[in-house]
Structure 1
């Protein structure tokens, strides 16, 4: 039987295995926290890999020049960034434009938040903080209690309270002022809550990416029928947000903050707060955090939605091109390459030459063809048709009938079918034209003239019947267009 002390110890061991606490527990934790906080900001959530190595190297040189030799690790900036990525503090990813970037993991965001709270002003037991707890407990009890009478009583009490407040305002016409100290406490509480949002959004995005990796890994190792794989994994790809605990929690929060109108209301409310006289007593950093609340929410939403789109795309693509045999061959080849590198690297020196591959591996072919294929075609090609040089050439009229649009005739015809204001309907004018002006290419000519004169598209769908010179007909449909018959160049 496990004692309470042993259970607490095992729980603490598991907690310190978390990359967030591991980061804060390291000897060089102050350096890691400081460099990550300088490298990544709310305006710069991702940094190109090459830029990150350069900036970290410059920061290390500045710290060494300032005399901070003892607290700095040995190694280049590239090595440090790779160590941070291996430890789970940085995440490498390739963007759509094939640029490889670093971004903070959820563990690193949480560690920076913990360090920021510890180094800044301590949270106080204030009226605002206690009210937040009480409101949360009341909402939890309200949502969890299935008793209809109890809920009706609570709603009646809330209605009476609001009616009393409305009656007082109508009677006195004044709003009771709130003490500046209490407003400061409420603002600090809001800042404290907002600081936790980036880590929450990052955890949701990483949970989606982890689910994506699990699905792809399971798909590569799966030997079930293809139809069953398609049904299961395409379903998970379509409902990726509901496949994780963090995703389901985020979906619930999204119903509250996902409405753009709601975000606009929050921005207006924060503007009212920052224009109040008490806001001048807030530190500049806290005022900046309050002004960027909406932008932080939007960035977090975009981060989660991007991870969701990428996961759906990767899972769907993997299912479409799933080949278990080929995937296993690729995995085995990559493992052989990694094993060879691990064997070669420990004894390798900088600048050491690598023996090139002298010959390609011999293909394992069970049987080769022993006879060459017959290069002759199975039958002779068809004879060329006879051509008489004295045959008459194509007439000019026939060539013109199959040629481009008759712009002059089309312009005159369009003007003849304009109303009193000089506006003509392209489809109606085309259908009323003679057969010689109703070729498919003449329809393009009319649309080109309308574009040059200034055309207006409507929501209606227009149908026209075109006639080719050989008498064949073709029906076209397009968005109805009206145009003016006046040349804007002569106005």
Structure 2
């Protein structure tokens, strides 16, 4: 059986294991609280990771330069390491949350435990809460409302309402008769303002807890969907039931539900703004420190921010769960889980044998399998036979090409030279006459060009006449050509500057 002392001790141990009290109990708690309260403000609940590292690094440099690195007893007040390393440690112990916003921006956000720790530290370092008339009246009003809600007796409820009506009617009659409002002492007004601020400081932590409970439900639902152990409909039905219970089963959920009813009524918001303006115009607020006056002025906005944070968490959870349901593929999810487990196993085997700041060679491309030549056909197991050897061919062979290919080739220079020399007979010969007298085999259009080329080499004389000749193609078709008259003197030295042919 556990004794009262043992039960109290175990309860305290569990409380100090929570991240909120753990933050306040650590060695560097003053530094952590100061840096987190400096970077994260009600106007700035989320901070980009790069900006947070820069601001915390600048703050650490300023503290070290001011001589706050060591305590009076010589112990270290500021830990070693960069701002990035400190933020990573705070995220590991649950004080900071990292998330992606706007698609690709990674930001830090205070966890609910960190918000609560900052509120505790702020209250301890600021004006201490006192047992005042305002706080006692708040307690009595809360007890009275609790009793009214718990008592179902109609007659008791009617009697209580009748008493309230009589009291309010008496107050109204007095005001109508005298026209004087009883002034409240400024000390009492200060007590009531401090009580309001005390109640307001509890809201951010409550909102943060509601948002975190929604994110926790999101993680549980996604994990259940990926495990694929139950139908998706049962998992989603349980998620909806838990979502309804969040607003009724926990104190922070009820606080959020009340704030949501308040924020959803524009008249209540306008009424709250008017009431706060009335309070801030009173002369007693001049005795409040500037931070407390700012807190009073920002009550409405802080409520709106807390509600917006919870709604954002609900919207994000719905989006994540909807995406998971639409793209749910159990086989692929299991493959991803196995891949992640392999990666973690590899890291656990790699990290112990590495040094700090050791470079990691990235895998820039996937390895390619080294595969030898694959047989394209398995029907014949014999190796492929080499091709038949080429038939020997002599360039100077006298064999006539098949299909009359030679007849369509270039000029027959040797036969043309012999024919032209025979026509000249040591003198001069007309090129057109010589071409007309040649046999049909060397009277092709290309042979006419060959004769002109030989005449240019041997020496020729141009005349004023126009010569017309008829050439015969190997297929029997005929073409007529006209050119300037040329006489060839075999062995002569005359030269031809140029000649041309035209096709009729």
* TM-score, normalised via structure 2 length: 0.68
**Alpha-carbon offset, residue 257 of structure 1:** 4.2
* 1:205-255 per-position Cα deviation (integer Å, ceiling 9, x unaligned): 01100111111111111233xxx31x2344455566414334752324422
Task: Find 1:352's aligned residue among 340, 359, 375.
Answer: 359
* 1:76-125 per-position Cα deviation (integer Å, ceiling 9, x unaligned): 11110011011110000100241000010000000001011111121111
* Distance in 1 (alpha carbons) for counterparts of 2:271 and 2:352: 60
SS at structure 1 position matched to 2:127: coil
Q: Does 1:167 align with 2:169?
A: no
- The more displaced of 317-326 and 254-263 is 254-263
Q: Is the 8 A contact 1:220 1:327 kept in 2?
A: yes
What does residue 336 of structure 1 align with?
A: 342
* Distance in 1 (alpha carbons) for counterparts of 2:365 and 2:244: 53
* 1:3-37 per-position Cα deviation (integer Å, ceiling 9, x unaligned): 11111111111111110000001000001000000
* Distance in 2 (alpha carbons) for counterparts of 1:356 and 1:92: 27
Q: Is the 8 A contact 2:221 2:239 kept in 1?
A: no
Q: Is the 8 A contact 2:49 2:108 kept in 1?
A: yes
Task: Find 1:316's aligned residue among 312, 322, 328.
Answer: 322
What does residue 457 of structure 2 align with?
A: none
Distance 1:148 1:59, change over 3 A: same
Task: Find 2:101's aligned residue among 76, 88, 95.
Answer: 95
* Distance in 1 (alpha carbons) for counterparts of 2:227 and 2:253: 27
- The more displaced of 128-137 and 66-75 is 66-75
Task: Find 1:194's aligned residue among 195, 200, 205.
Answer: 200
* Distance in 1 (alpha carbons) for counterparts of 2:377 and 2:314: 54
What does residue 148 of structure 2 align with?
A: 142
Distance 1:156 1:243, change over 3 A: closer
**Alpha-carbon offset, residue 316 of structure 1:** 1.6
Matched ranges for 1:115-154 at <5 A: 115-154=121-160
* Distance in 2 (alpha carbons) for counterparts of 1:219 and 1:352: 38
* Distance in 2 (alpha carbons) for counterparts of 1:167 and 1:20: 52
Matched ranges for 1:386-397 at <5 A: none
What does residue 408 of structure 1 align with?
A: none
SS at structure 2 position matched to 1:102: strand
Q: Is the 8 A contact 2:214 2:313 kept in 1?
A: yes
What does residue 110 of structure 1 align with?
A: 116
Distance 1:279 1:183, change over 3 A: same
What does residue 8 of structure 2 align with?
A: 8
What does residue 37 of structure 2 align with?
A: 37
What does residue 223 of structure 2 align with?
A: 217
SS at structure 2 position matched to 1:37: helix
* Distance in 2 (alpha carbons) for counterparts of 1:235 and 1:33: 41
What does residue 244 of structure 2 align with?
A: 242
What does residue 437 of structure 1 align with?
A: none
Q: Does 1:262 align with 2:268?
A: yes
Q: Is the 8 A contact 1:237 1:312 kept in 2?
A: no
Q: Does 1:232 align with 2:238?
A: no
Distance 1:3 1:280, change over 3 A: same
Distance 1:319 1:300, change over 3 A: same
SS at structure 1 position matched to 2:146: helix
SS at structure 2 position matched to 1:302: helix
Aligned positions, number: 361
* Distance in 2 (alpha carbons) for counterparts of 1:199 and 1:184: 24
The gaps in structure 2 that reach 5 residues or longer are: 70-75, 370-375, 379-504
The gaps in structure 1 that reach 5 residues or longer are: 363-368, 372-491
Distance 1:65 1:324, change over 3 A: same
* Distance in 2 (alpha carbons) for counterparts of 1:290 and 1:204: 23
* Distance in 1 (alpha carbons) for counterparts of 2:253 and 2:332: 35
* 1:377-413 per-position Cα deviation (integer Å, ceiling 9, x unaligned): xxxxxxxxxxxxxxxxxxxxxxxxxxxxxxxxxxxxx
Q: Is the 8 A contact 2:224 2:235 kept in 1?
A: no
**Alpha-carbon offset, residue 152 of structure 1:** 0.5
Q: Does 1:26 align with 2:39?
A: no
* Distance in 2 (alpha carbons) for counterparts of 1:167 and 1:347: 86
Q: Is the 8 A contact 1:35 1:59 kept in 2?
A: yes
> Aligned Cα RMSD in Å?
2.1
* TM-score, normalised via structure 1 length: 0.70
Task: Find 1:85's aligned residue among 84, 88, 91.
Answer: 91
- The more displaced of 286-295 and 333-342 is 333-342
SS at structure 1 position matched to 2:2: coil
* Distance in 2 (alpha carbons) for counterparts of 1:240 and 1:14: 25
SS at structure 2 position matched to 1:196: helix
Q: Is the 8 A contact 1:39 1:52 kept in 2?
A: yes
* Distance in 1 (alpha carbons) for counterparts of 2:330 and 2:85: 36
* Distance in 2 (alpha carbons) for counterparts of 1:356 and 1:51: 30
Name the structure, 1 or 2, with higher relative contact order (CA <8 Å, separation 6+): 1
